[in-house]
Amino acid sequence: LERQLLMQNQMRERQTAMQIAWTREFLKYFGTFFGLAAVGLSAGAIKKKKPGILLPIVPLSFIFAYQYDMGYGTLLQRIKGMSMSVWFTHKTKLSI
């Protein structure tokens, strides 16, 4: 049983490592796209004198920030902490 728990924990750690690696790789491509889009939209907004052209940068920046936090930040640690808190809260509510 102890060996099985160790194997499960190791598999979970490998999956997490793969997820972080995939996110970092995705971030390279999305960061390039975001940078080019920001430059292009800024140039278009200046050229046409319409600041509304910059609006797509807002949702793209949220996606970029999320992916950066996932790949290089502490998002996974915060998710693990919250999940343990939720699990413990539900477990204590069910046992009462």
User: Which pTM value belongs to this model?
Assistant: 0.75
95 or 48: which leads in pLDDT: 48
Between these two residues, 76 and 15, which has the higher pLDDT value?
A: 15
Tell which wins on pLDDT, 54 or 79: 54
For residue 51, give both structure tokens.
Answer: 């600041």
**Which pLDDT belongs to residue 11?**
95
26: which residues sit within 8 A by CB, 6+ positions away?
Answer: 67, 71
72 Cβ contact partners less than 8 Å away, ≥ 6 residues apart: 24, 27
Question: Between vectors from CA 12 to CA 11 and to CA 14, what angle results, nearest 5°?
Answer: 65
Q: Whole-angstrom Cα distance, residue 40 to residue 43? A: 5
- H or E segment at 49? none
